[in-house]
Structure 1
């Protein structure tokens, strides 16, 4: 008997149900479920007792509870945010080292517009 079949009988708790509900909500928001399907499956998640109870709810969906998912685009580090975090350090260095270096602070809003203005 392999480990997958043995795990199906394991009882789930509140944390697993919440994870399953969050995943189901994401599938709904991405357009994979209509409102009626989402409602039915949400009720089934709330009533689930074991991992085996969750399996048919997610059988036709690309991600299942407990699987490692690739990070969402929104959670990936945005290089522009890193640049905007470093600019004040450069401006501070300019203020200390260069005469009239305080003018470097004027670059912050300009760089913000250049980096984020055309999203």
Structure 2
């Protein structure tokens, strides 16, 4: 039995690629670039390597240090949850300003800002 019959992976690497495979590789590289994984110089260099690729093995080093499927980040890692404490802390200065303008000795309301911050964030 020859080595090519025993190892189908190495056989696939020697298969020549066509325009469709190069376009698919370029689309994947563009996605990686748009997600910020490559700087413009790296993108340009790798784009040239894709254009010059003849076999599937030529494409492997281009993507070796990149995730297999760009854009497939779990939604939870992208999702920004709103912290109700931050919203409260953002509103406190507005309330303190209102007290300063409308109430005698309203400037004392500004003392609530650090105290409220300590109370809200002490358990974090």
Instruction: Give the TM-score normalised by structure 2.
Output: 0.49
Tell me, yes or no, if the aligned pair for 1:95 and 1:104 is still in contact at 8 Å.
Answer: yes
Per the alignment, residue 48 of structure 1 pairs with: 63
Q: Larger C-alpha radius of gyration, 1 or 2?
A: 2
**C-alpha RMSD of matched pairs (Å):** 3.8
Q: 1:17, CA displacement in angstroms?
A: 5.4
2:98 to 87, 93, 96: 93
In the alignment, structure 2 segments of 5+ residues that lack a partner are 1-19, 39-58
d(CA) in 1 for partners of 2:78 and 2:32?
24
Q: CA deviation at 1:70?
A: 1.5
* Counterpart position of 2:32: 16
Cα gap change, 1:68 to 1:8, in 2 (>3 Å)? farther
Equivalent residue, structure 2, for 1:109? 114
**Is the Cα–Cα contact under 8 Å of residues 20 and 45 in structure 1 kept in the other structure?**
no
Moved over 6 A (4+): none
Between the aligned partners of 2:88 and 2:99, the Cα distance in structure 1 is 16
Segments of structure 1 that go 5 or more residues without pairing to the other structure are: 1-5, 23-43, 59-63
Pair 1:118 & 2:105 matched: no
Deviation at 1:87, TM superposition (A): 0.3
Cα 1:96–1:74 shift into 2, 3 Å: same
Q: Is the 8 A contact 1:17 1:46 kept in 2?
A: no
